[in-house]
Structure 1
Amino acid sequence: MTGKIAYQGEPGANSHIACNEAYPHLEPLPCRTFEDCFAAVERGDADLAMIPVENTIAGRVGDIHYLLPSTQLQIVAEYYLPIRFQLMALPGTKLAAVKKARSHIMGLGQCRNFLREHGIEGVTSADTAGAAREVAELGDSTLAAIAPRLAADVYGLEILAEDIEDATHNTTRFIIMSREQAEIEAGDGPAKTAFLFEVRNIPAALYKVLGGFATNGINMTKLESYLIGGSFVSTQFYAEISGHPDERHVQLALEELGFFSQSLKILGVFPTSEYVLV
């Protein structure tokens, strides 16, 4: 065990904050890309990876789901982080002087109203904390960053406007990846099962797959589709359901899914984390 948890971004990023809150006993390990996060755990450089998958304002983090089919890692937990963005710049900068704001594309998307109201142009950076570092290094008083409060402390910036996200419910959901499966048994408490599947090329295959979950009384909490193989007719689906594969009604639903699918990959079984609206 390394005692480390990998995340994409630089120190001060929201993923860094999620690591500190969810796993305070582990050392956060910053990684340049999501691929690097997965690789760090696969190589044994980290025990876990904190991976954002969706946000209540900006939607899904598309890059992640294209990495899931090829990884051998398992989803072992989920975590919900309320997102609070601050506009930060060099000390002494006035809000009226800011012409451009740098941030991750998801950060810009979650603060559209503020940027429009103040006539500030959004500029995409690799991540939110990295944008703060860039502002500190460039020394341009017309440039600001949209990033978490922690980034202002890390890079010595001054906060010009607080909590500029478009909605107070702004929350990002993370999944935690590991080389080992979660130690959770049927009956231990509410659980989720995540999986990928590709339906057979027959009429109403997806309808029949979903029917198995309906008839067995299983709640499907997520279903997303992705084109694969450069084709507009070959589709892969990522799904999450409430329940454990060892529960009989879940077994029956997965058996029916398998009959109408040409592939099925279980990505993890993990405890359900309560999402609290703040």
Structure 2
Amino acid sequence: MTKPSRIAYQGEPGANSHIVAKEHYPDWETLPCASFEEVFAIVANGDAELAMIPIDNSIAGRVADIHHFLPTSGLHIIAEHFLRIQFSLLGVPGSSLETIRTVHSHVHALGQCRKIIKRHGLTPMISGDTAGAAREVADAGDPSQAAISPPLAAEIYGLDILAEDIEDEDHNTTRFVVLSREPVRAPAGNGPTVTSFIFNVRNLPAALYKALGGFATNGVNMTKLESYMVDGWFTATQFLAEVDGHPDDIPLARALEELAFFTTEVKILGVYPADPLRSLAP
């Protein structure tokens, strides 16, 4: 019997990462992991073929841990997927908005649902992930505890939905990237493409300005630029960037060639199809 392909994610069953993995890889076995480090390690050692990882949220911004793990992971971005985030307030059977006093969830989810927390005077409690918070509330059996989780978690853990669509903004969307051990480049000329890469600038005045100049002069749209310290040194800076286009396209090829003159390293992390939702305004 053929062993099913596996896709790993951080969190417990019912988490948003689980939802988007099942949506785009319905025939694959999903593999929940306790931490992002575990997800990266499982794909790196071959226990799973792919990883589904959140990287940005339209309200909370970047998922900081991922931006630090990704450059040194040895993995490659092969796809991106956007998920409209919908959170519910969950409680044990018999609980209500009047009985709950504390609300449990991932720190990003708590930050995305501040209005309902403030409106009901709830005390936020940080959990490892949204679905894990639902399981903790179910295990506790305490009507004073609630969880902010995707509605699927209510079904999985036997909880009641006390309030639906509780996120502060209706444009709340998380961008996920799919990681693989092997690079799989999208073909050139086959629709909108995103190229992700890292680079280190030389420690010289205006080095970043000069490094990025080629993207402007060649008309390449840069959609992300994140900076990091390298090995704790304040004088060495690494950047994670994303641009529209394919490295085989002449404008981007020229921009990357110019970038190389002002950097000590350029490494492409992935060349992959742009999710159709990328082009839609909130």
The verdict on a shared fold, with TM-score over 0.5 as the criterion, is yes
2:170 to 137, 144, 168: 168
Offset of residue 258 of structure 1: 1.0
Q: CA-to-partner distance for each residue in 1:129-161, whole Å, 9 max, x for gaps? A: 000000011111111000001111110000101
Offset of residue 231 of structure 1: 2.8
Tell me if the contact between 1:2 and 1:44 (Cα under 8 Å) persists in the aligned partners.
no
1:218 to 204, 216, 220: 220
What one-letter code is carried by the residue in structure 2 that aligns with 1:109? G
CA distance in 2, matches of 1:163, 1:189: 33
Q: Which deviates further from its counterpart, 227-236 or 174-183?
A: 227-236
Offset of residue 6 of structure 1: 0.5
> Which residues in structure 2 correspond to 1:118-267 (within 5 Å)?
118-267=120-269
Q: CA-to-partner distance for each residue in 1:73-108, whole Å, 9 max, x for gaps? A: 110000000000000010010111111000000110
Determine what percentage of the aligned residue pairs are the same residue.
58
CA distance in 1, matches of 2:44, 2:217: 38
Tell me if the contact between 1:243 and 1:250 (Cα under 8 Å) persists in the aligned partners.
yes
The count of corresponding residues between Structure 1 and Structure 2 is 278
CA distance in 2, matches of 1:99, 1:18: 31
What one-letter code is carried by the residue in structure 2 that aligns with 1:244? H
CA distance in 2, matches of 1:104, 1:233: 34
Offset of residue 2 of structure 1: 4.7
1:12 to 14, 29, 35: 14
Tell me if the contact between 1:2 and 1:47 (Cα under 8 Å) persists in the aligned partners.
no
Offset of residue 264 of structure 1: 1.4
CA distance in 2, matches of 1:160, 1:24: 29
TM-score when scaled to structure 2? 0.96
Is the partner of 1:186 in helix, strand or coil? coil
Is the partner of 1:96 in helix, strand or coil? coil
Displaced runs of 4 or more, over 4 A? none
Matched, 1:51 2:57: no
When residues 91 and 29 of structure 1 are mapped into structure 2, their CA distance, relative to the original with a 3 A threshold, is same
Is the partner of 2:182 in helix, strand or coil? coil
Residue segments in structure 1 that go unaligned for 5+ positions in a row:
none
Residue segments in structure 2 that go unaligned for 5+ positions in a row:
none
Tell me if the contact between 2:88 and 2:161 (Cα under 8 Å) persists in the aligned partners.
yes
Aligned-residue CA RMSD (Å): 1.2
Tell me if the contact between 2:87 and 2:150 (Cα under 8 Å) persists in the aligned partners.
yes
What one-letter code is carried by the residue in structure 1 that aligns with 2:202? R
